[in-house]
Structure 1
Amino acid sequence: MAPEYLSHGQFSVKSDVFSFGVLLLELVSGKDRRSPLGHDDSEEYLLSYAWRNRRQGTTADVIDPVLRVTSSFQIDMLRCIHIVLLCVQENAADRPTMSSVVLMLNSTSLTLRIPSQPAFYLPNSREWESSTSSRSNTMEPRSNSDVSISEYGPR
Structure 2
Amino acid sequence: MTDEAKKAGNGRAARGILGRRGGRLVTVTAVGAAAAVLAVTPAFAKGSADLSASPGTVKVGQTVHVKGQGGSDALRYGVFCAQQRVGTKGAWHTVKCGHIADIDVVDAKVDTKAKATHRGVLQFRGVLYGVDGPKGGHPSVDRTTDIRTVHVK
Task: Decide: shared fold, TM above 0.5.
Answer: no
TM-score range, shorter chain: under 0.3
Structure with the larger helix share: 1
Indicate the structure (1 or 2) with the bigger Cα radius of gyration.
2
- Calculate the TM-score normalised by the size of structure 2: 0.19
Q: Which has the higher contact order (CA 8 A, sep 6+)?
A: 1
- Calculate the TM-score normalised by the size of structure 1: 0.19
